[in-house]
């Protein structure tokens, strides 16, 4: 899927939604600073929602990695 | 669906090793010499819902514990027969301070039957989410508000890429998993193309997990070269209706029998930690003895957001080792594979399971969640002086 990401994207300090639940992140520690809501993204889970827009991601988990793609923002970068 | 499965009143409590329920012989009656010990697979006629046929004795005293372990050792390594359900129930009542001894016996039995080799497998969710079934532990059910986005079946290149990743991890087996009730003709056609393609291209043995099968489908999958077919019982027959309502335990058992009838190896796993009692875990082990699978993946519940079991506590690490060991003692000749939930459940005790009966691993990531790196697992096997290789069950 082609990225059309004019908005701030994941990994560039612009995350505005929790990748675990998709809700907008509250500012400050435990929210935007942490990159996800408290307890929302278990350590062994890939992101489920786009950090830029909160849409559900298409996630492919393979034995050695994962790929997550937003219909609007394209693939999440490896620095997520 | 219930939020928290409750226990059958006829079974021990979830902390049940200290129950004062008297041991009954309802589950006794079994056949020595390796045949199935008790008819746990058959439902009494006219009975709508099964009750657990197993009761555990109270926690054993130190003297009783020593006797139970010695008796099990003699049965498995001397008489070379399967343990009976009542013998397994007695071992399940060992106090916590005897779990290490239980694990040591399980390790001895594993080495006796199958040696030190460990089989390594990779898995792939080739069709994720949107499943019509309501397995309460599963994030891929369309019936729950799970964060997973349902995705259609992967294309050949995506599947092959995952198979190559598996191969690079030193694995001999690659399992293609689909979140479906059972395959329709379109899915069958894809599987019949994919299985030989992966096998031919990578040299890996190919396993498939695609739900409930018909006789005709089982035959065609076997003819296409499916090495193992995965179809988990998950839990005891008496507990199953509390975690799945859209199909029955008996339907699962029937697919397992079909798989074997058509010459594929049966991979039939368990999932501990859904609220089942220890007695129901023993019941399940007895039911697996009757099915005689080649492989038994051991999963521990990793509670998934949005599912009815999302708030269940994890199985304790030491308790998990107890059930790994009991599974080996119940099923001495199977491939007993670490599967989902081991990282979060066992944490630093993962290596201990390999000296308590485990002789196979899923390496790398799982279907929708991540695992630790294959390199960590391979280093663990190297540290344990356990070579990696393909295995077959030794019933």
The interface predicted TM-score (ipTM) is 0.82
Residue of A nearest to B152 (CA): A58
Alpha carbon separation from A44 to B308, B342, B361, B365 (Å, rounded): 20, 11, 17, 9
Distances (CA, A) of B230 to B73, B137, B233: 30, 17, 10
What percent of chain B has pLDDT above 70?
88
Which pTM value belongs to this model? 0.87
A42: chain B residues, CB-CB within 8 Å:
344, 369
Taking CA–CA distances from B341, the nearest residue in chain A reads: A44
Residue B46 has pLDDT above 50, yes or no: no
> Which pLDDT score is estimated for B18?
34
Say whether A48 and B148 touch across the interface (CB within 8 A).
Answer: yes
Does A46 lie at the interface with B, CB-CB under 8 angstroms? yes
A49 chain-B contacts, CB cut-off 8 A: 147
Distance from CA of B271 to the nearest CA of A (A): 18
SS3 state at B234: strand
The pLDDT of residue B1 is above 90: no
Place of tokens 């080792």: B321
Query: Domain coordinates of chain B in residue numbers?
Result: 119-383
For residue A58, list chain B residues with Cβ-Cβ distance below 8 A. 149, 151
What pLDDT does residue B47 have? 39
Nearest residue, CB atoms, B365 vs list A22, A48, A63: A63
Q: What is the mean pLDDT of residues B220-236?
A: 98
Please tell me if residue A62 touches chain B, with a CB cutoff of 8 Å.
yes
State how far residue A18 is from chain B, nearest Cα, in angstroms: 12
E strand segments, B210-341: 228-230, 265-267, 270-272, 295-300, 335-338
- Is pLDDT of B59 > 70? yes
List pLDDT tens digits, range A4-49.
Answer: 333 444 444 467 999 999 999 988 776 677 788 888 888 899 999 9
Interface test with A, best of B128, B130, B147, B311 (most A CBs within 10 A): B147
Contact A39, A67 (CB under 8 A): no
Tell the CATH superfamily of the B119-383 domain: Aldolase class I (3.20.20.70)
Backbone angles phi, psi at B18, to 5 degrees: -100, 10
């Amino acid at each position: 899927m082609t990225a059309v990401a004019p908005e701030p994207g994941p990994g560039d300090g612009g995350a505005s939604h929790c990748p675990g639940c998709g809700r907008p992140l509250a500012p400050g520690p435990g929210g935007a600073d942490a990159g996800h809501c408290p307890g929302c993204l278990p350590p062994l889970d890939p992101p489920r929602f786009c950090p830029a827009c909160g849409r559900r991601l298409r996630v492919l988990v393979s034995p050695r990695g994962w790929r997550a793609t937003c219909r609007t923002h394209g693939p999440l970068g490896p620095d997520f | 669906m219930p939020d928290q499965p409750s226990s059958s009143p006829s079974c021990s409590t979830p902390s049940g090793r200290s129950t004062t329920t008297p041991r009954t012989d309802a589950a006794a009656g079994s056949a020595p010499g390796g045949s199935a010990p008790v008819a746990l697979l058959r439902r009494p006629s006219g009975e709508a819902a099964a009750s657990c046929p197993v009761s555990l004795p109270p926690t054993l005293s130190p003297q009783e514990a020593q006797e139970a372990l010695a008796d099990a050792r003699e049965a498995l390594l001397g008489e070379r027969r399967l343990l009976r359900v009542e013998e397994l129930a007695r071992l399940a009542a060992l106090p916590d301070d005897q779990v290490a001894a239980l694990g040591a016996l399980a390790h001895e039995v594993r080495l006796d039957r199958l040696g030190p080799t460990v089989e390594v497998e990779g898995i792939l969710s080739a069709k994720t989410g949107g499943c019509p079934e309501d397995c309460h532990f599963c994030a891929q059910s369309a019936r729950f508000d799970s964060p997973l986005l349902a995705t259609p079946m992967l294309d050949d290149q995506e599947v092959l890429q995952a198979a190559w990743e598996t191969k690079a991890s030193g694995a001999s087996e690659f399992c293609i998993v689909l979140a479906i009730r059972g395959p329709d003709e379109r899915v069958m056609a894809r599987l019949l193309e994919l299985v030989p393609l992966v096998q031919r291209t990578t040299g890996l043995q190919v396993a498939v997990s695609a739900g409930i099968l018909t006789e005709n489908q089982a035959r065609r999958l076997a003819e296409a070269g499916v090495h193992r077919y995965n179809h988990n019982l998950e839990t005891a027959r008496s507990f199953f209706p509390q975690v799945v309502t859209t199909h029955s335990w008996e339907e699962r058992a029937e697919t397992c029998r079909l798989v074997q009838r058509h010459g594929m190896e049966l991979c039939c796993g368990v999932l501990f930690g859904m609220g089942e009692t220890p007695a129901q875990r023993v019941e399940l082990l007895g039911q697996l003895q009757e099915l005689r699978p080649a492989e038994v993946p051991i999963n521990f519940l990793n509670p998934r957001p949005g599912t009815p079991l999302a708030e269940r506590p994890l199985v304790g690490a030491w308790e998990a080792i107890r059930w790994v060991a009991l599974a080996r003692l119940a099923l001495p000749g199977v491939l007993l594979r670490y599967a989902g939930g081991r990282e979060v459940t066992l944490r630093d005790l993962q290596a201990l399971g390999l000296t308590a009966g485990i002789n196979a691993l899923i390496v790398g990531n799982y279907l929708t969640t991540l695992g630790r790196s294959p390199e960590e697992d391979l280093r663990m096997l190297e540290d344990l002086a356990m070579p990696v290789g393909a295995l077959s069950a030794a019933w």
